[in-house]
Structure 1
Amino acid sequence: MSNLRTQEVEMLLEVLSAMDDKDQLYALIEDLFTIREIKETSQRLSVAQLLSQGKPYTAIAEITGASATTIARVSKALNYGSGGYRLALDVLNGKGSQGDEPDAE
């Protein structure tokens, strides 16, 4: 994966991490990705959320429309990946670090 983290990727990360307005971020995503890519990426996040809740593949496929292959890939990344899905799920569950330490008082 280290070959993936190029100067161009670093530039993208810099831009994404600096944007805190959802409408501006949406505009960028809409320009960067195709409609299909946005839908598929969003679907994967929903799949990860449902997997983390213990839902079975059949229920996830029914709820999200994702294929068994997509669900399996997300499951593999969730369990053996670099932790990105877990971080995203923490954000969705209100546990994401946005510069704040949890109850550090």
Structure 2
Amino acid sequence: MAKDHPTGKSGLYQAFLQLKTPEQCYRFLQDVCSYSELSAMEQRYNIAEMLVDKRIYTEIMDKTGASSAIISRVSRVLSADDSVLRALLEAEKPADEPKN
């Protein structure tokens, strides 16, 4: 049986919008993701934070244990004009810190 590609139209995305707290979100993700899937998502988010903070690859590799290929993939996501991840991370920066 062929796997369907995600369309963004699943009820999953509506479920995310119902979550009210980080704890609720964490518990939901534990329910729907394997340990390794959740760990990979957290690692990629942490990498994105470090890239937005202009950290270098070797430092990111040391702190996260991620390969340069994973870091490069996250970097490509952040460099896209329509990167929601980059927009979220930049919005989290303190007002006195310059945004990219």
Shorter chain as denominator, the TM-score bin is 0.7 to 0.9
Q: What does residue 77 of structure 2 align with? A: 77
Question: Quick one: distance in 2 between partners of 1:6 and 1:47?
Answer: 24
Q: What does residue 89 of structure 1 align with? A: 89
Q: Pick closer, same or farther for the CA change 1:90–1:17 going to 2, 3 Å.
A: farther
The count of corresponding residues between Structure 1 and Structure 2 is 91
SS in 2 for 1:7: coil
SS in 1 for 2:55: coil
Question: Quick one: distance in 2 between partners of 1:23 and 1:94?
Answer: 23
Residue 21 (structure 1) shift: 2.5
TM-score calculated relative to the size of structure 1: 0.74
Runs of 4+ aligned structure 1 residues displaced above 3 Å come to 90-95
What letter matches 1:82 in structure 2?
D
SS in 2 for 1:47: helix
Residue 56 (structure 1) shift: 0.9
Residue 23 (structure 1) shift: 2.5
Structure 1, unaligned runs of 5 or more: 96-105
Answering whether residue 6 of structure 2 is matched by residue 4 of structure 1, we say yes
Deviations 1:38-62 (A, max 9, x none): 1110000110111111111111000
Q: What does residue 32 of structure 1 align with? A: 32
